[in-house]
């Protein structure tokens, strides 16, 4: 399969949308383009599996290498493994759901959809890039639309939130760029990920570049204490913007921490692993307790995302195969879950014009579909068996428990205990929203429309596919995690 199609599909759709004048045509074109992206991602998953079954054992499949700047050794080098395919599937599901949830956007409609599609272009390019310079380029392509989406179509203190998000993510990008340049100079002046993975980088390089890259990418995925952009950014963004921010953009950071920092610098990963685990555990508890203090539904989901993304970084920091598989599964699960949560919040806000749970009550009576989805996504967040959250978090806990020492065991137990806090704030928020007497002003509210129901069902399919039958995702991700673990294990032996 030609991976360039994954970049060209959103690019062509975005340009087509920009040239149109009829808003209705803009919407249907964006939906058609996002549908093509979803189909292409499913085709990629199928042909990838077929290739593996046919005996193709290369680390990355469907490689393409096009020289761009020969003097700097920069190539458009593309390829995918199971981890990449999982992230591409997540992106496709969130993109089409985000387009459907934006159906009623009237302000600068074509510009809005253009930016959404541009963000998806950056995500696809990031996940399939094997040249670190091109990977960084696509990371930046995925940053710029966020600022505009919040600053123009957001609500509340949207300008301040957009500025805060842009400054924090640009700071993260600066750290990433410094780390990549360090790898480039120490690795024989190449940005090629495969070539760098075959080179034993000097220990001093890893000690300097690993924290630069891990913190830089970590800012994107709410690494404590650099998470402060998340609540304000999510709360001020439009519904689709929040879905993209939490569902896709925060996963760019987790993927970069794993694919670039941990894979290319395993000795650095070992040296800083305990710090990563401590910061992740703090994020899990801080996010959970901060969520308990919130009464705004968007802030509840935003602080909850800080906690859930802590599980991703905890799985990476544990440096075991099972924990890394769990981290990837958590990225996919949280991406689907939090995008659906923000979609439901958007449905409720559009009808009630409030996000304060104390001002709601009894909405299950008038919005049965919407509130039923709220129940399901809430149960997914607190780790109910049968839904994706349970599978992902349990996999991380099992991988973390493989370490026999007291430090790792305590971190694992603390992470497990956070589920109790999660249950408290989820059940309380859902109860105040759905149960109790219905206020008079809400008696005539309408339930979800066709586009909102379609978006919710698409995301629910992904959540249930992982929760009820997780083996397909585990088998997809495990070979890539095994290769990363082989390099980590080899570095452990060499250091001894």
331 lies in which domain range? 4-495
With beta carbons less than 8 A apart as the criterion, state whether 121 and 91 touch: no
Q: Is the pLDDT of residue 493 over 60?
A: no
Q: Which two tokens stand for residue 105?
A: 């956007």
Burial class (CB in 10 A: 0-12, 13-18, 19+), 259: buried
Nearest CA among 217, 271, 164 for reference residue 488: 271
Structural domains of the chain, count: 1
Q: Is the pLDDT of residue 491 over 80?
A: no
Rounded Cα distance between 107 and 316, Å, is: 41
> What single DSSP character describes residue 192?
B
pLDDT digit string, tens, across residues 410-458: 999 998 888 888 888 888 888 888 888 888 888 888 888 899 999 999 9
pLDDT digit string, tens, across residues 127-148: 999 999 999 999 988 888 888 8
Q: Span 84-96, mean pLDDT?
A: 94
pLDDT digit string, tens, across residues 143-169: 888 888 888 888 778 888 888 888 888
Q: How confident is the model at residue 213 (pLDDT cuts 50, 70, 90)?
A: very high
Rounded Cα distance between 71 and 154, Å, is: 43
Q: How confident is the model at residue 57 (pLDDT cuts 50, 70, 90)?
A: confident
C-alpha distances in angstroms, 4 versus 11, 58, 66, 457? Answer: 11, 19, 11, 29
Rounded Cα distance between 365 and 361, Å, is: 9
Q: Is the pLDDT of residue 40 over 90?
A: yes
Nearest CA among 72, 150, 86 for reference residue 115: 150
Q: Is the pLDDT of residue 494 over 90?
A: no
Q: Which two tokens stand for residue 344?
A: 């439901």
Nearest CA among 100, 117, 108 for reference residue 154: 108
Q: Is the pLDDT of residue 104 over 70?
A: yes
Q: State residue 327's pLDDT score.
A: 93
pLDDT digit string, tens, across residues 19-28: 888 889 999 9
pLDDT digit string, tens, across residues 377-411: 999 988 888 899 899 999 999 999 988 889 999 99
């Amino acid at each position: 399969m030609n991976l360039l199609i994954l970049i060209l599909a959103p690019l062509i759709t975005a340009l087509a949308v920009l040239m149109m004048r009829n808003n209705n045509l803009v919407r249907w074109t964006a939906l058609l383009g996002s549908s093509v992206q979803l189909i292409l991602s499913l085709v990629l998953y199928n042909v990838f599996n077929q290739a593996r079954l046919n005996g193709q054992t290369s680390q990355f499949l469907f490689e393409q290498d096009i020289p761009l700047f020969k003097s700097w050794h920069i190539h458009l080098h593309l390829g995918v493994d199971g981890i990449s395919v999982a992230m591409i599937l997540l992106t496709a599901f969130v993109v089409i759901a985000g387009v459907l949830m934006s159906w009623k956007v009237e302000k600068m409609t074509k510009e809005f959809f253009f930016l959404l599609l541009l963000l998806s272009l950056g995500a696809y390019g990031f996940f399939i890039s094997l040249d670190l310079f091109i990977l960084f380029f696509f990371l930046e392509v995925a940053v710029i639309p966020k600022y505009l989406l919040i600053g123009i179509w957001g609500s509340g203190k949207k300008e301040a939130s957009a500025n805060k998000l842009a400054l924090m993510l640009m700071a993260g990008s600066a750290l990433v760029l410094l780390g990549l340049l360090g790898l480039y100079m120490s690795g024989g002046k190449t940005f090629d990920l495969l070539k760098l993975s075959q080179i034993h980088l000097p220990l001093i390089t890893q000690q300097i570049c690993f924290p630069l890259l891990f913190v830089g990418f970590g800012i994107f995925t709410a690494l404590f204490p650099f998470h402060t952009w998340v609540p304000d950014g999510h709360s001020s963004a439009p519904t689709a913007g929040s879905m993209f921010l939490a569902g896709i953009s925060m996963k760019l950071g987790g993927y970069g921490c794993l694919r670039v920092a941990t894979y290319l610098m395993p000795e650095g990963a070992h040296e800083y692993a305990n710090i990563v685990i401590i910061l992740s555990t703090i994020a899990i508890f801080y996010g959970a307790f901060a969520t308990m203090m919130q009464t705004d539904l968007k802030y509840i989901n935003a602080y909850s995302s800080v906690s859930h993304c802590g599980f991703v970084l905890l799985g990476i920091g544990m440096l075991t195969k099972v924990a890394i598989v769990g981290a990837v599964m958590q990225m996919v699960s949280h991406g689907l879950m939090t995008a659906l949560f923000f979609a439901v919040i958007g449905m409720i806000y559009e009808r009630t014009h409030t996000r304060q749970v104390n001002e709601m009550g009894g909405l299950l009576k008038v919005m049965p579909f919407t509130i039923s989805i709220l129940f399901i996504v809430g149960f997914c967040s607190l780790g109910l068996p049968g839904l994706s959250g349970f599978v992902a978090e349990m996999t991380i806990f099992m991988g973390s428990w493989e370490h026999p020492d007291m430090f790792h065991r305590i971190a694992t137990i603390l992470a497990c205990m956070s589920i109790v806090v999660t249950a408290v704030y989820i059940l309380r928020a859902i109860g105040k929203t759905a149960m109790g007497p219905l206020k008079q002003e809400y008696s005539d509210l309408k339930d979800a429309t066709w586009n909102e129901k379609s978006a919710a069902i698409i995301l629910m399919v992904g959540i249930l596919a992982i929760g009820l039958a997780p083996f397909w995702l585990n088998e997809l991700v495990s070979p890539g995690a095994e290769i990363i673990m082989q390099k980590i294990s080899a570095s452990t032996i060499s250091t001894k």
